[in-house]
Chain A
Amino acid sequence: MTAINPHKAARLRRNVLLYVAAALLLLIWVVPILWAVIVSLKSESEVLAYPPQLIFQPTMANYRDAVSGGFSILPSFFTSFILSTATTILTVLLAVPAAYAFARLSLPGKRALGFYTLVTQMIPPVGLVIPYFLILNKIGWLDTYQGLVTVFLTFSLPFAIWLMVSYMEDIPKEMEEAAFLDKASRLQTLWHVILPQVRGGIAVTVIFVFLNAWNEFLFSVQLSGNHVRPVTVAMYNFVSVEQTLWAKLAAAALIAMLPMIVIGIAAQKQIVKGLTVGAVKGGGRR
């Protein structure tokens, strides 16, 4: 799709215009995040100055407050870490074998079960948070790790199964057949042949499940409390109680989101792959 314009000058002008247009659009995605960074480096009074100031003496005080003292989000940070890690481990342990069965083995009622998994993925979260509140309240699991991890499985598990199925389907069948000819058992084949092939897919699944658990809000805000409070809830409490401390909020929010931003940039290729694995392949698979 590159230009076939033979005139170099026209092509250059066109490229410059393209870059300017693209850069403007790029800016729209960066500005809110960049502005949060700037605000987090200001004092509270500088934040309120009008017109907004770009030149100021940067301070790290907001970051110090965000990690220590009464405004610290570190406890929530660790809570989110435990919740997301536990959810990710459980999800992968359950989803990978299931995906293998769905993608490559004969399983009675597979069509129906695949459809069932798909439908569970489409349940609106608000439809689950209401019964979960009542159920967890009854069994005393409100504001507990096991309660929230159980609820997180409702969106991570169907998602992970479908993602892994699409990776499992890509493995050439000859690989398995070769292993069978060598008299490997099905379990040995899964462990020594299939799993190494889908390592990339498992990495994508781990990233997405962790990310979604870390960013979850609706279940967290309603089913957690003072004991198990994830960062997304800590953020929200921050602003609704301390309306005016916006520089501290910005600093705390950036710290809370830092792991996701780092994962996002470091695993950029895997994330794009995970986002597009179905959409792009949908074309070739008809």
Chain B
Amino acid sequence: MGVGTLPRREGARIEGATGSASAVAGRHSRTPFQKEEIFAAFLAGPALLVLVVTTTFPLVYLIWNSFQNINLAMPFMNGFAGLDNYTQMIADGNFWHSLELTAIYAISSVLLQVVIGLGLALLVMQIPRGQGVFRIVAILPIVLAPVVVGLFWRTLMLAPNFGIVDFAVKALGFGAVNWLGAPAPALISVIMIHTWQWTPFAFLVFLASLASLPPDVYEAARIDRAGPVQRFIHITLPLIRPALVIVVIMRSMIALSAFAAIFAATRGGPGTATEILNLYAYRTSFVELNFGYGSALAVALLVITLAVSGVLFALRTARVSQ
């Protein structure tokens, strides 16, 4: 949400603390060891207990449900289903279609956010004065609820006849486009909406990252007569790579679980043209009331999300340790 569906879950530092465990242990070795551990367990215990109860328990229940028939529309069929939901999924064209849409949606929106965000950050870095204005304006999309963003775009921007995007396109001499009513434009629209809301995040991270780079490196490069493109490829890019990787990881997680803006703008439609995997899992569960199959779809999304983040993290550590 939130920051929507998050900005839901924005800004957390994803890595790090675990690595310093041994250092911290050594640091306090003069104090009675066990006493500190008991105190630490006392401090961390409540939060961990709440996490287990609120996240792990429902997740185990989700996985359990994915092996059940739970259909509120056909309760007489309920019972253990074994792998039925998963075999159904493999044969389900809608599942593969939603998976394909998820990939298109996530990859293109993350790519656009990184490219536009970095380009804009580089541009704004060149501006001698007024960078603060950009920081403030960039906050605006981030703090709006994604559902409100989806509604704004659906009603005010993309609506036929009086949406201003529609008006602008017609005024420029192009034909009327049914932005949310035809499959391909609808998919482009929801990617545009996501990119609109979250590019500021990438922009702000890159701006802060660029501002923290040591100026003397650039001085040296100028003395060596390196051009702007060379400076970007050989100095800027390697130096901001940690920020780049973090942005890609965080934005991928959010894009994979995007819901509210698409739901508000298209509800997955027209037909299933914008129904990415989690909207499909949602529809299966809460519209068709087939909670067993919906759970299996959600498990698939969970496995994919964890696999993608695992691969991205592995890439990060591999590069860092080089």
Contact = CB atoms under 8 A, between A and B. Distances in A.
Given A22-B127, A123-B302, A261-B143, A253 B152 contact: yes
B156 A212 contact: no
B12 A121 contact: yes
B40 A105 contact: yes
A279 B118 CA distance: 14
A32 B152 contact: yes
Contacts of B201: 275
Contact of A108 (B41, B46, B47, B140): B41
Nearest to A152: B54
Contact of B36 (A18, A36, A106, A263): A106
Contacts of B133: 26
Nearest to A278: B13
Given A108-B41, A128-B55, A134-B61, A212 B139 contact: no
A250 B291 CA distance: 35
B99 interface: no
Interface residues of B, number: 127
A21 B257 CA distance: 33
A264 to B, nearest CB: 4
A111 interface: yes
A190 B11 CA distance: 25
A33 B139 CA distance: 12
Contacts of B33: 106
B16 A169 contact: yes
Interface string B181-212: 00000000000000010001100110011101
Contact of A150 (B54, B139, B164, B218): B54
A28 B157 CA distance: 11
Contact of B44 (A101, A127, A135, A163): A101
Contacts of A263: 143
A61 interface: no
A132 B12 contact: no
Interface of B is mostly: helix
A239 B215 CA distance: 51
A132 B285 CA distance: 12
Contacts of A119: 306
A158 B126 CA distance: 37
A276 B55 contact: no
Given A283-B240, A286-B242, A97 B2 contact: no
Interface stretch (B89-97, B107-115, B292-300): B292-300
Contacts, number: 405
A49 B162 contact: yes
A166 interface: yes
Given A128-B55, A159-B12, A272-B204, A212 B3 contact: yes
Q: Which one of A39, A208, A217, A261 has the greatest number of beta carbons of chain B within 10 Å?
A: A217
Contacts of A256: 145, 148
Contacts of A28: 196
Nearest to B13: A278
Contacts of B155: 239, 246, 249-250
Interface of B: 1-18, 20-21, 24-25, 27-28, 31, 33, 36-37, 39-41, 43-44, 46-48, 50-51, 54-56, 58-59, 61-62, 65, 70, 120, 123-128, 130, 133-149, 151-157, 161-162, 164, 167, 171, 196, 200-201, 204-205, 208-210, 212, 215, 218, 222, 239-240, 242-243, 245-247, 250, 253, 256-257, 259-260, 263-264, 278, 281-282, 285-286, 291, 294-295, 298-299, 301-302, 305-306, 309, 320
Given A154-B55, A271-B143, A282-B242, 15 more contacts: A26-B133, A26-B134, A29-B140, A32-B196, A39-B156, A98-B47, A106-B33, A123-B302, A126-B301, A208-B11, A215-B146, A218-B282, A257-B145, A277-B13, A281-B13
The 4 A-B pairs of least Cβ separation, nearest first, read A278-B13, A215-B2, A98-B47, A215-B145
Interface of A: 1-4, 15, 18-19, 21-22, 25-26, 28-33, 35-36, 39, 47-52, 94-95, 97-98, 100-108, 110-111, 113-135, 150-151, 153-155, 157-159, 161-163, 165-166, 169, 173, 180, 186-187, 190, 208, 211-212, 214-218, 222, 231-232, 235-236, 239, 246, 249-250, 253, 256-257, 260-261, 263-265, 268, 271-272, 274-283, 285-286
25 contacts: A2-B128, A22-B123, A22-B134, A29-B140, A30-B140, A32-B157, A49-B162, A97-B46, A101-B43, A124-B257, A124-B301, A126-B278, A131-B295, A153-B54, A166-B13, A173-B27, A215-B1, A257-B144, A260-B145, A268-B136, A271-B142, A275-B11, A278-B15, A279-B246, A282-B242
